[in-house]
Amino acid sequence: MTFDKRQRHTMMLPRIEIQTTADGSSTLYRPDMDEHYHSTNGAVTEALHVYIQTGLYALPIQPISVLEIGFGTGLNAILTWLEAEKNKQPIRYTTVERFPLSDSITHQLNYQLPAEAGPKFEQLHACEWNTAVALSPYFTLQKLHADLTTQQWQETFDVIYFDAFAPDKQPEMWTEEIFKRIYQKTNPGGVLVTYCAKGVIRRMLQSVGFTTERLPGPPGKREMLRATKII
């Protein structure tokens, strides 16, 4: 289920603090959940390792369709867009977020990215919600303001960035039913990557049909998970 403009204005975002991580890049902290949006050992470092190097690079195909669970600050999206331009790889990027951030927060984020990324980052956040927008010949973005627990998709995906808050903080996002729906919409050979390597999550992914592997994690985490749909 997606939310319309009227509903978005009535949804209150909890208090958020901006913090700096070990690699100098920004993250956000939600005191109500005692949870950060990224690893405090390095936001950009973590995103590049988990989602770009281990996820996007796992499928050297063109074009490619990405589903992101948790748009958050837009970090994974901007890194993917930069990769699309660098490799001239057409990417259709769909992302789901229940609590979009305000401009007053996103304008303060510092990811120490190349100069050309600044205007692109602003474009990501300026895009209309619930509408597919071709931001370049190589990158089309669709931001869905939606509740993942009820969201349904018509399209299918090659790579899934599962970047929800930790299972103990947001258990409703890490359920067998959600993983089952994602599996059904994953193309054969497609992969799901996540920073979370908990055994219970690995077993849930296996129970819906994925083949899983534990891989070295980013700084501060020993392992992460990659799940593949093998048909």
- pLDDT digits 0-9 by tens, 22-80: 999 999 999 999 999 999 999 999 999 999 999 999 998 889 999 999 999 999 999 99
Q: What is the model's pTM?
A: 0.92
Is residue 172 over pLDDT 50? yes
**What pLDDT shows up at residue 116?**
84
- pLDDT digits 0-9 by tens, 130-166: 999 999 999 999 999 998 888 888 899 999 999 999 9
Going along the chain from its start, the domains and CATH numbers come out as 5-228 (3.40.50.150)
The rounded radius of gyration (Å) of the Cα atoms in the chain is 16
Q: Which helix (H) or strand (E) covers residue 68, if one does?
A: strand 64-69
**Cβ-proximal residues to 74 (8 Å cutoff; 6+ apart), any chain:** 106, 121, 124, 125
Q: Which helix (H) or strand (E) covers residue 20, if one does?
A: strand 17-20
Is residue 209 over pLDDT 60? yes
Is residue 7 over pLDDT 90? no
